[in-house]
């Protein structure tokens, strides 16, 4: 199976290197091709998402992505900026489902923004719709009758869009503990009323999944009050953007959290949720565990290798239990030493 490696900028190459070391220990079924993306691609080839990079991403069975973002490129026109590469990949590959697990390893409870007794129970996945909602609706600027400037963004979902993300939510719940919480604002939004109706209709096809509904404002509050109640959350693009950032902070360091962006087949782009961290790039201080855990998700969701994924996740937990700590976790280990610690367990 072909893996497209798109390391990108800053700490991206440093953390992707460690993930590949780990992948090579658990499976020999993968081949790799590397291509530049982001600021690195702009500097080498004049575009953040060169045609050859996009072509590799399309040909590959899965994509392992580091991060993009380069301060040298901050003054470029928007379409040439490194961050356009990730948006372009999501759009070109129709990656509509964003899965963000937020799990707090018990050893890291003191790194969470929450009280330790609340934080230890965090182990959830937020399934966020990525190609629709208010971000993609008609938008513009106009003048009201009273002569005031008015900005507007139309929020909409059609039932097909809701159905395909809800299916990912139900299936993710089936693969875990069979609990799905659909988050909306159905008390005031028409979009959300449709969302809720469609999710309820679909639940007939998933009798083994226990479905609940929650308003988004309550969900934000419950994530802080009692995050342990959640297993899988499915929600729209806007609500999911906010809730997944919130959940990530509950779970400790940004250097720990992986993500997957999936299409309607099995293709996916896997990346840590963090960016290129220019402040620590080149110093060996980056925590590679988010990327190593992203690689595990890739094995599970795109490559049909769930046992190998389990092995990686267990090895990360064991390395942490054994004291592996990069600076973001309050330790002194380098990026490579964190990789070594996981390899030593494997
Ligand atoms: P960032 O996530 O790169 O860094 C935020 C803070 O977290 C920094 O202090 C950084 O040192 C630390 N950090 C991040 N990852 C870490 C890791 N693995 N280990 C230890 N510490 C880590 O976010 P920031 O600074 O807002 O953005 C930097 C660049 O990254 C920008 O150009 C931004 O646009 C881009 N970015 C790219 C993303 C992507 O490629 N998907 C996502 C988020 C930001
Ligand atoms: Mg966000």
Q: How far is the CA of 120 from the centre of ligand 1 (A)?
A: 25
Q: Which residues surround ligand 2, an ion (CB under 5 A)?
A: 241, 245
Q: For residue 222, what pLDDT band results from cuts at 50, 70 and 90?
A: very high
Global pTM value? 0.90
Q: How far is the CA of 185 from the centre of ligand 1 (A)?
A: 31
Q: How many structural domains comprise the chain?
A: 2
Q: Is residue 111 part of a domain?
A: no
- Residue 158's domain comprises 123-250
Backbone angles phi, psi at 52, to 5 degrees: -70, -35
Which residue is associated with the tokens 């963090």?
A: 274
Q: Is residue 115 part of a domain?
A: no
Tokens coding 151: 């900005």
Q: pLDDT by residue (tens digit) across 306-343?
A: 999 999 999 999 999 999 999 998 899 999 999 999 99
Q: Is residue 233 part of a domain?
A: yes
User: Is residue 280 a known part of a binding site?
Assistant: yes
Q: For residue 317, count other CB atoms closer than 10 A to its CB.
A: 16
Q: Which ligand 1 atom is the nearest neighbour of the CA of 82?
A: 32
At CA 100, angle to CA 63 and CA 215, rounded to 5? 145
Nearest C-alpha neighbor of 272 from the set 203, 335, 202: 335
Q: Which value does ipTM take for this structure?
A: 0.98
Q: Is residue 154 part of a domain?
A: yes
Query: CB under 8 Å to 185, separation ≥6 — which residues?
Result: 192, 215, 216, 217, 239
Query: CB under 8 Å to 12, separation ≥6 — which residues?
Result: 38, 65, 66, 67, 68, 276
- My answer on whether 35 and 150 are in the same domain is no
Q: Would you say 103 and 70 are in contact if contact means Cβ atoms under 8 Å apart?
A: no
Q: For residue 278, count other CB atoms closer than 10 A to its CB.
A: 16
Quick one: pLDDT at residue 272? 95
- 3-class secondary structure, 115: coil
């Amino acid at each position: 199976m072909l893996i497209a490696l798109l390391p990108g900028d800053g700490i991206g190459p440093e953390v992707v290197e460690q993930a590949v070391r780990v992948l090579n220990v658990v499976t020999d079924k993968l081949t790799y091709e590397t291509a530049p993306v982001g600021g690195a691609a702009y500097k080498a080839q004049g575009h953040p998402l060169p045609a050859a990079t996009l072509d590799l991403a399309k040909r590959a069975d899965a994509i392992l992505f580091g991060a993009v973002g380069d301060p040298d490129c901050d003054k470029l026109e928007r379409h040439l900026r490194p961050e356009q590469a990730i948006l372009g990949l999501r759009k070109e590959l129709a990656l509509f489902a964003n899965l963000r697990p937020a799990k707090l390893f018990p050893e890291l409870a003191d790194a969470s923004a929450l009280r330790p007794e609340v934080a230890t129970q965090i182990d959830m996945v937020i399934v966020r719709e990525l190609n629709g909602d208010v971000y993609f609706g008609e938008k513009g600027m106009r003048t009201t009758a009273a002569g005031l400037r008015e900005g507007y963004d139309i929020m909409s979902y059609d039932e097909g869009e809701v159905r395909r993300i809800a299916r990912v939510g139900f299936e993710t719940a089936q693969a875990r503990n069979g609990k799905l919480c659909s988050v909306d604002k159905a008390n005031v939004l028409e979009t959300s009323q449709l969302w809720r109706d469609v999710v309820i209709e679909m639940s007939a096809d998933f009798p083994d999944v226990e479905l609940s509904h929650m308003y988004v404002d309550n969900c934000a509050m419950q994530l802080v009050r009692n995050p342990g109640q959640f297993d899988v959350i499915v929600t729209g693009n806007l609500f999911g953007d906010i809730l997944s950032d919130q959940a990530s902070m509950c779970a400790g360091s940004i250097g720990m959290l992986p993500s997957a962006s999936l299409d309607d087949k099995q293709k996916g782009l896997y990346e840590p949720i963090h960016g290129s961290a220019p402040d620590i790039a080149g110093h060996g201080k980056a925590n590679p565990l988010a990327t190593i855990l992203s690689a595990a998700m890739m094995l599970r969701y795109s490559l049909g290798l769930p046992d190998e994924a389990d092995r990686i996740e267990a090895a990360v937990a064991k390395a942490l239990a054994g004291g592996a700590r990069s600076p973001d976790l309050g330790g002194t280990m380098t990026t490579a030493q964190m990789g070594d610690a996981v390899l030593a367990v494997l």
